[in-house]
Structure 1
Amino acid sequence: MSEATDLVGVLRAAGETTRLRLLALLADGEQSVKDLTEILGQSQPRVSRHLKLLADAGLVRRNAEGAWAYYGLADDGIGGDLARWLVGRLAEADPERQRDRQRLVSVRAAQQAQAAAYFAKVADSWDLLRSLHVAEEAVEAAILAAVADRSVDTLLDLGTGTGRMLELLAGHYRRGIGVDSSREMIAVARSKLAAAGINHAQVRLGDIADLEPAAGRADLIVIHQVLHYFDDPGRLLIQARQALRPGGEMLIVDFAPHELEFLRIHHAHRRLGLSDPQMAAWARAAGLRVSAASSFPPSDAAEGLTVCVWQLTDDPGDHH
């Protein structure tokens, strides 16, 4: 097939109103079919059909996770380039575009409210819940090994929860800041840090997807068991990257891909684990690279979850 024929196919796929609306929404981050259906007010089969045409033409990429599928703009190629070019020429003031964006904001707010309600319910028992089916001791040993004998000026723990990472790494930073959007989690974290006598760390209520500049820039950013609560982990990494000093590092801890759908239904998970290729692509988009990765399988392979630890290094050629 000639390049001209390929290009005509891509143009045909993009040249339809609903599909243009989908491209515009996906330019704002990865979305699930469920959320796109709600935003557009169209049936799931219809939205899925449009997405399939866009994916077949190379304009978007699809990532299946259990019963759900997530879509985002293609990372590269003719399709990805054309998708971004088209979205860049859509009028921001277009009423339909504004309505879609408002609905996207509403959908994300509803997701955050659902997660906040869950975290408020489990705050007191969070550490116990998190340790279920996970080789927590081995994971924490790997986190300490990743930091080794270094001591950094500022450590930023995003989605700090009960402050466990601030506690574990207390000997490796001069100033620690934990940020979390759950008041209940923050209360537990403050209590635990005070009880442990850790007075060089503080926790703040805040949105880790929209960090306040007052938090400053960190030498080391830790994101521990957080990314699977977000529809678009890559978008969060790009936001976090802005809080990283040149030459800084990120330490990401999360689950490997799995099929435990109940975690999405009952425990507010949005993504069923993260793969090495996904992490590499998200890191690259944020101007970072994966410098090391390790995984820790559960003691019970039938029920448990594999935990991964990724070290992301600042790419000196791409400072933001």
Structure 2
Amino acid sequence: MLELTETFKALGDPTRLRILRLVGEARLNVSEVVSLVGVAQSSVSHHLTKLKALELIREERQGGFTYYSLMVDEKAPLWPLIRLAKDAPDEHGDLARLTELLQRREDALTLNEKLLEPGQSWRLWASALASLLPPLDVVDFGCGTGVLTVELARWARHVTAIDHNPVALDKARAEAGRLGLRNITFLEADLKALPLESGAQDLVVLSQSLHHVNSSERVLAEGARLLRPGGRMVVLELMPHDEQWVRSRLGHQHLGFEPAALQNAMRAAGLETPTLVAAPRDAASPFKAFLLTGTRPLAPALPLPSPSRPSSLAPRAP
């Protein structure tokens, strides 16, 4: 009876139930569980230790990591309780994040298997290809902590990294400083009204920024304003989805976009030929991405003067 009481007490903790459900879906290490449930590592470790002591989960070492998985199977007396936890509504979006995590695992494995030779790096290939580009002036709309910004700065002439979050910008500055990148200007500003000169940029990048703003049309128009004739805009966004939890946890204001709607907004902003590249992920993932590119038209060329012809009114030679 005491053992049963302890088990019920352990399963009465909501976070512990979330962890139990997650490790019931996949083998996870501590860092992965922390990223999924969003609590401190010390707290996660405590919950895992408690669940292991009750023989609800098992612990296995692999490749320098400790992985946890569900130890109870369908024949165990406690299975009905475990089943209730597994079937409970996913109010925190844990399972959606787990799907993304497992997809990243698979992507990393697939990439590793596709390397042409041992020791090759796709980042090095990307850097090599980027070195073939002319030096460009780039604006990174909604740069966040600067993950994309620093990659752009490796080959760009100059990058203006913009975000409304000062904490994220501080992290981006720190990362740029750590890498010794001196060609980045960080700007805390509203993406809909930027204190930047019109027609002075070669490339505007919006990587999953539009779903954080209330007016994507105004942001796209502002980005188009900054481009030189012939300059390009690149937009990476999410397809429409039903993951409501991203509003409260991640601050999303839109649950994805229809690509055609953003294409129309880019055309309305004066960009030509917005092209679409869809990149759907595994069907089990709730998030699928697409890429749009558009170009600011070149200034119309002046008409060439017509070749001079002898005038019919010119006097004839005698």
Q: 2:237 aligns with which of 254, 257, 272?
A: 254
Percent identity reads 24
Deviation for aligned residue 1:230: 1.9
Mark the CA change 1:305 to 1:231 in structure 2 (over 3 Å): closer, same or farther.
same
Deviations 1:257-286 (A, max 9, x none): 111122123321111112221121011100
Mark the CA change 1:154 to 1:296 in structure 2 (over 3 Å): closer, same or farther.
same
Q: 1:212 aligns with which of 150, 172, 195?
A: 195
Q: 2:276 aligns to what SS in structure 1?
A: strand
Mark the CA change 1:282 to 1:272 in structure 2 (over 3 Å): closer, same or farther.
same
Alignment partners' CA distance in 2, 1:315 and 1:146: 26
TM-score normalised per structure 2: 0.52
Structure 1 gap ranges (5+): 1-121, 123-128
Larger Rg: 2
The residue that corresponds to 2:276 in the other structure is: 293
The residue that corresponds to 1:275 in the other structure is: 258
The residue that corresponds to 1:242 in the other structure is: 225
**Equivalent pair of 2:281/2:288 in contact (CA under 8 Å):** yes
Q: 1:167 aligns to what SS in structure 2?
A: helix
Mark the CA change 1:147 to 1:225 in structure 2 (over 3 Å): closer, same or farther.
farther
Alignment partners' CA distance in 2, 1:201 and 1:155: 9
Q: Does 1:315 align with 2:297?
A: yes
Deviations 1:142-187 (A, max 9, x none): x989978323331111111111222122233111110111110110
Structure 1 or 2: larger helix share? 1
Q: Does 1:230 align with 2:213?
A: yes
Q: 1:270 aligns to what SS in structure 2?
A: coil
Mark the CA change 1:196 to 1:185 in structure 2 (over 3 Å): closer, same or farther.
same
The residue that corresponds to 1:185 in the other structure is: 168
Q: 1:172 aligns with which of 155, 171, 182?
A: 155
Deviation for aligned residue 1:297: 2.4
Deviation for aligned residue 1:306: 0.7
The residue that corresponds to 1:263 in the other structure is: 246
Q: 2:159 aligns to what SS in structure 1?
A: strand
Deviation for aligned residue 1:293: 2.4
The residue that corresponds to 1:306 in the other structure is: 288
Matched to 2:249, the amino acid is: H
Provide the aligned length of Structure 1 versus Structure 2: 188
**Equivalent pair of 1:146/1:311 in contact (CA under 8 Å):** no
Counterpart mapping for 1:123-162 below 5 A: 132=100, 149-162=132-145
**Equivalent pair of 2:202/2:232 in contact (CA under 8 Å):** yes
Matched to 2:291, the amino acid is: V
Mark the CA change 1:261 to 1:147 in structure 2 (over 3 Å): closer, same or farther.
farther
The residue that corresponds to 1:195 in the other structure is: 178
TM-score normalised per structure 1: 0.51
Q: 1:231 aligns to what SS in structure 2?
A: coil
Deviations 1:222-244 (A, max 9, x none): 11110011222112111221111
Q: 1:186 aligns to what SS in structure 2?
A: helix
Alignment partners' CA distance in 2, 1:226 and 1:315: 24
Q: 1:254 aligns to what SS in structure 2?
A: strand
**Equivalent pair of 1:144/1:169 in contact (CA under 8 Å):** no
Deviation for aligned residue 1:249: 0.3
Question: Which is worse superposed, 186-195 or 171-180?
Answer: 171-180
Alignment partners' CA distance in 2, 1:296 and 1:164: 20
Mark the CA change 1:231 to 1:204 in structure 2 (over 3 Å): closer, same or farther.
closer
Q: 2:217 aligns to what SS in structure 1?
A: helix
Counterpart mapping for 1:84-163 below 5 A: 132=100, 149-163=132-146
Structure 2 gap ranges (5+): 1-37, 39-96, 112-121, 301-318
The structure 1 segments of at least 4 consecutive aligned residues displaced by more than 4 Å after TM superposition are: 131-138, 143-148
**Equivalent pair of 2:140/2:205 in contact (CA under 8 Å):** yes
Mark the CA change 1:214 to 1:238 in structure 2 (over 3 Å): closer, same or farther.
closer
The residue that corresponds to 2:83 in the other structure is: none
Alignment partners' CA distance in 2, 1:283 and 1:314: 10
Matched to 1:304, the amino acid is: P
